[in-house]
Amino acid sequence: MKHAWLGLAAAGLLAAPAQAADRAAILAEYQALLAIPNVATDVADIRRNADHIMAMMARRGLAPRLLEGADNKVPPAIYGEWRVPGAKRTLVLYAHYDGQPVTPEDWTSTQPFTPKLYSDRPDRGGKPIAFPAAGQKVDDDWRVYGRSASDDKLGVMAILAAVDQLKAKGEQPGFNLKIFFEGEEEMGSPNLAALLARHRDTLKSDGWVIIDGPAHPSGAPQVSLGVRGDVNVDIVVHGPVRPLHSGHYGNWVPNPAMVLSQLLASMKDASGRVTVPGWYDDVVPLTEAERAAIRAVPAADAQLKAELGLGWTEGNGTALLDAIQQPSLNINGIRAADVGDKARNVIPTSAAATLDLRLVKGNDVKRQVDKLIRHIRAQGFHVLDRAPTLDERRAHTRIATVTVGAGYNAERTPLDDPLAQSVVAAARPHRAVVLPSLGGSLPLYIFRETLGAPTVSLTLANHDNNQHAEDENLRLGNLYRAIDVTADVLRMR
Amino acid sequence: MKHAWLGLAAAGLLAAPAQAADRAAILAEYQALLAIPNVATDVADIRRNADHIMAMMARRGLAPRLLEGADNKVPPAIYGEWRVPGAKRTLVLYAHYDGQPVTPEDWTSTQPFTPKLYSDRPDRGGKPIAFPAAGQKVDDDWRVYGRSASDDKLGVMAILAAVDQLKAKGEQPGFNLKIFFEGEEEMGSPNLAALLARHRDTLKSDGWVIIDGPAHPSGAPQVSLGVRGDVNVDIVVHGPVRPLHSGHYGNWVPNPAMVLSQLLASMKDASGRVTVPGWYDDVVPLTEAERAAIRAVPAADAQLKAELGLGWTEGNGTALLDAIQQPSLNINGIRAADVGDKARNVIPTSAAATLDLRLVKGNDVKRQVDKLIRHIRAQGFHVLDRAPTLDERRAHTRIATVTVGAGYNAERTPLDDPLAQSVVAAARPHRAVVLPSLGGSLPLYIFRETLGAPTVSLTLANHDNNQHAEDENLRLGNLYRAIDVTADVLRMR
């Protein structure tokens, strides 16, 4: 499908950035992209996205092709380029086109892959509105709801529309541009290192600019020089082999939901500090310059507490930006039998929790997970990586199956790195703030380990975007500003 | 539908009990009854069950009619009678025809209302088999799977087939027989007291015999002179107003799943003893005769531990039959966001648990729940009976919504009560064991409070019946023996 505005742009009739005339067209192109289901575990869906994005890139002359992994079950990356004769540097712009899993029944704004436009957040009175026709006015406060609207098809759209912006003005990037769209980031990038190594020559560069993540709560774009590492751990505590009547057996047969609660409760104190021994031991402290950068960021803590309805925060008053410089332990979810109207009077057979561990510079995935497993053992558990046999159940008081997902370490580029300095300079006119590290994660460690390349991240989505959850959304003002910021990054020399 | 065997029975050609010829016909009649969905909250379904059961009773000449509650939204009870000229006593036989809620996706044997026959428990190699044709041989170890197979349509079927057994032999009950089938027991019988009071004259009697619950793990039928009381409590702990990315906010925004885990963990110590202050204070101790009765029951603890795959039990080695003489606190279920493959890296907005509290003689529902709520407050929670407002969220560190279901107190009939003595005498030839109280619950307290009537329970289902859970089932040997035991109860003078 060819958009009318692309014709206009090619004819030089559009003066970018973000004129009223092209905003509706950009949104129409984005709506079509969001409508394609993109949960990373569904490789067929992922390939449908890749085909669609390659067509978008081909229309822009970016010579797209797939970078395949070891076999066709690995979600492919999408590669494109714009060679600039005489350029001194080669940089790769990164986004990921896969999205988090969805639970459609929890969505109230729309269904995850039926993008829908609202006049504002529904909880503040926003109403559904029709997508605007070409040339119609678009309001900055409108929001598009759908999976990946902010995380991270925004990155894909910002890069491609920024390319349009330069082309419409007859400009070229200030460097040889390579584009890399990952297809398995939300799975924890299990195949990324192998894929980068496999395509090492294609991806040779002086550094990567990552476009993914939310802006500062004040609305300011963020340049982030690092990310936390990340690993998921599933814990299943085992109870009786069959569900039991809670009257006939209650207070004799141990309840796995109680045993799991006691285990989880042992992992944090009342202030939220992780009590797993050694949890904070490996942390590499921030430099004085990094601490100064954090102090220069406007504090948003009071605004966030009010907005989120929080009467307290973890860490005895530690500021958010300081808190995320430490490793975390988060419960993503817990489940045992049912609650509320669906609850039955039973002792469940098992109780499960999924933990999300964030790592900072100095932590190592395996060391951090080992600390957790040692802690679980210290609580009296027999730890297995599979379900217990009947004999094992009989032989141990407490049994947990612990499964560790693919994970990766944190990464931090120094403030005085040349790439860091030029991205900061490009983003400053957009009132960007600079952070030594985000709280969120990307597999940036892998880029340095595999390719020796530094990374700098731009985070541009609205902070209240329900990223990773139901009702994910993107404020349109953030979409158009992301394009403008990315266009200025393309202009870096 | 008229069964061939009823004709045979009427013609006096069947010598009950439990001849091969009638076993298949009883099972066919039972299969039809189990196929009618009977979750108590669906009053339309409940009335379809009532119509079906009244037809079964009418075929037996039991003059069935509905005992309605205050309005037609209350599940009706079904009443029937068999008057016996010259009888000295009037007794009511009780069962309930409603069942626990179902989560069909958790059932692996069949769907909850598609009864299916197996040659044994599937986990021991049992295979699906066809229901036998009339007159075909039926094996005691076969099992029928479906909701209420054991809890408590078994009670309905046992009473009606026992009536057939007497009629087939030209016998009459030893007392005026009244029959009462409740339709809302699994909801906690919120309308039972009012319904009994409303139909006080119809239900006048010298006592009630309750047929509901599982036999002793050794397989022996049980006579139980009491039951625990029961009440459900829902607890919802509130987190941020919207789900948050666990990277960008993790270890700053408190996680409600962790806060709930810490709250639940505070309710029991490592041995399983409830740590809520005063939890065991009101308990009326057993009499010496009651303690002696418990000592006379064959211990099944070692068998149960092996069978259930338990490496320990709560109470530092307390025997099961002693443990259930104490009030309990059980977690029926916990839920916050999702786990495993469906987990996302989020801080959930809330975390919920449903508790089941069992009460013993001396406890009172309101007093016991108040102890729990005081304990929750003592852990620093602001307790509400509704969702918090945004201002309340901002004002308090920990907030829980606590909702209390309909509940009732425990009941215990003395061992020397005349009804107790005659039921024990009728059941002894079937090698029954006698218990002062079951671990499970029935609203027997209400019968004494409202009607002044003593109650005695017969529990006859196989103990490994998955009652209240997925894959509920009834071993057929237990069905036919329940009929024989009930027939001997009908013969009590």
User: Nearest-CA residue of chain B relative to A232?
Assistant: B345
The two tokens of residue B426 are 């009728």
Chain B hits for A358, CB-CB cut-off 8 Å, are 246-247, 250-251
Q: How far is B11 from chain A (nearest CA, A)?
A: 42
Beta bridge partners of A116: A145
Place of tokens 């950068």: A293
Domain B230-283+326-404 matching CATH 3.30.70.360: the answer reads: yes
Tens-digit pLDDT profile for residues A300-309: 999 999 999 9
Distance CA A258, CA B266 (A): 10
Nearest to B247 among A230, A274, A338 (CB): A230
Q: Determine the average pLDDT of the residues in B273-290.
A: 96
A370-375, long-range: CB within 8 Å, 24+ apart, which pairs?
A371/A276, A371/A277, A371/A278, A371/A279, A372/A233, A372/A267, A372/A276, A372/A329, A373/A402, A374/A277, A375/A266, A375/A267, A375/A276, A375/A277
Distance CA B288, CA B301 (A): 22
How far from A438 is each of A212, A458, B24, B450, CA to CA, in Å?
11, 10, 69, 65
Bridge-based pairing of strands A455-459 and A222-224 is antiparallel
Q: With CB atoms and an 8 Å threshold, state whether A252 touches B315.
A: yes
Place of tokens 């403030």: A415
Q: With CB atoms and an 8 Å threshold, state whether A469 touches B272.
A: no
Distance CA B421, CA A396 (A): 43
Q: How far is A476 from chain B (nearest CA, A)?
A: 20
**Could you tell me if A238 and A330 are in contact, meaning their C-beta atoms sit under 8 angstroms apart?**
no
Q: With CB atoms and an 8 Å threshold, state whether A243 touches B470.
A: yes
Q: How far is B165 from chain A (nearest CA, A)?
A: 31
Q: With CB atoms and an 8 Å threshold, state whether A262 touches B247.
A: no
What is the distance of C-alpha A434 from the center of its chain? 19
Chain B hits for A238, CB-CB cut-off 8 Å, are 309
Q: Determine the average pLDDT of the residues in B377-384.
A: 98
Tens-digit pLDDT profile for residues A233-287: 999 999 999 999 999 899 999 999 999 999 999 999 999 999 999 999 999 999 9
Q: How far is A19 from chain B (nearest CA, A)?
A: 32
Place of tokens 């014709």: A7
Q: With CB atoms and an 8 Å threshold, state whether B243 touches A468.
A: yes
How far from A282 is each of A289, A327, A443, B248, CA to CA, in Å?
20, 10, 19, 21
**What is the number of H-type helices and E-type strands within chain A?**
15, 21
Rg (CA), chain A: 24
Who wins on pLDDT, B259 or B443? Answer: B259
**pLDDT range class, residue B6, cuts 50, 70, 90:** very low
Nearest to B241 among A268, A308, A340 (CB): A308
User: Nearest-CA residue of chain A relative to B315?
Assistant: A252
Closest CA to A95 of A493, A424, A486: A486
Q: DSSP label at B268?
A: B
**CB neighbours of A159 closer than 8 A, spacing ≥ 6?**
A93, A95, A179, A211, A486
Q: Determine the average pLDDT of the residues in A186-209.
A: 94
What is the distance of C-alpha B84 from the center of its chain? 31
Q: Determine the average pLDDT of the residues in B114-130.
A: 96
- Where helices occur in A231-325 by DSSP H, the ranges are 246-249, 256-265, 288-296, 301-308, 320-323
**Could you tell me if B245 and B345 are in contact, meaning their C-beta atoms sit under 8 angstroms apart?**
yes
Q: What CATH superfamily classification does A4-228+411-490 receive? A: Zn peptidases (3.40.630.10)
Nearest to B251 among A328, A346, A438 (CB): A328
What strand order describes the sheet that includes B116-118? B128-129, B116-118, B143-145, B473-475
Chain A hits for B245, CB-CB cut-off 8 Å, are 214, 439-440, 467-468
Distance CA B239, CA B348 (A): 7
**CB neighbours of B53 closer than 8 A, spacing ≥ 6?**
B33, B64, B78, B97, B156, B181
- CATH of region B4-228+410-490, choose from 3.10.20.30, 3.40.50.1370, 3.40.630.10, 3.30.1330.10: 3.40.630.10
Tally C-beta pairs within 8 A across A and B: 376
Beta bridge partners of A408: A230
The two tokens of residue A43 are 């490789």
**pLDDT range class, residue A16, cuts 50, 70, 90:** very low
pLDDT for position A10: 36
Q: With CB atoms and an 8 Å threshold, state whether B334 touches A335.
A: yes
Q: Determine the average pLDDT of the residues in B353-372.
A: 97
Closest CA to B159 of B492, B491, B487: B487
Q: Determine the average pLDDT of the residues in A180-205.
A: 94
Residue spans of the domains in chain B: they are 4-228+410-490, 230-283+326-404
The three-class DSSP label of residue B323 is helix
Q: DSSP label at B436?
A: S
Chain B hits for A380, CB-CB cut-off 8 Å, are 270
Please state the ipTM of this predicted complex: 0.81
pLDDT for position A9: 35
Distance CA B383, CA B396 (A): 10
Tens-digit pLDDT profile for residues A129-175: 999 998 899 999 999 999 999 999 999 999 999 999 999 999 999 99
**pLDDT range class, residue A21, cuts 50, 70, 90:** very low
Beta bridge partners of A461: A214
Q: Determine the average pLDDT of the residues in B97-115.
A: 95
pLDDT for position A5: 33
Q: Is the pLDDT of residue B13 over 70?
A: no
Chain A hits for B300, CB-CB cut-off 8 Å, are none
Q: DSSP label at A403?
A: E
| Number of CB atoms found within 10 A of residue B378's CB | 11
Pick from B152, B216, B242, B252 the residue to mutate for testing the A interface (most A CBs within 10 Å): B252
Closest CA to A117 of A49, A217, A34, A22: A34
Fold category of A229-283+327-404 in CATH: Alpha-Beta Plaits (3.30.70)
User: Nearest-CA residue of chain A relative to B350?
Assistant: A333
Tens-digit pLDDT profile for residues A351-378: 999 999 999 999 999 999 999 999 999 9
User: Nearest-CA residue of chain A relative to B320?
Assistant: A252
| Listed range (A102-106, A311-315, B187-191) with the worst mean pLDDT | B187-191
Distance CA A147, CA A129 (A): 18
Return the ∠ at Cα A225 (arms to A222 and A230), rounded to 5°: 100
Position B175: which residue type?
Answer: F
Closest CA to B143 of B109, B189, B178: B109
pLDDT for position A437: 93
Chain A hits for B101, CB-CB cut-off 8 Å, are 338, 341-344
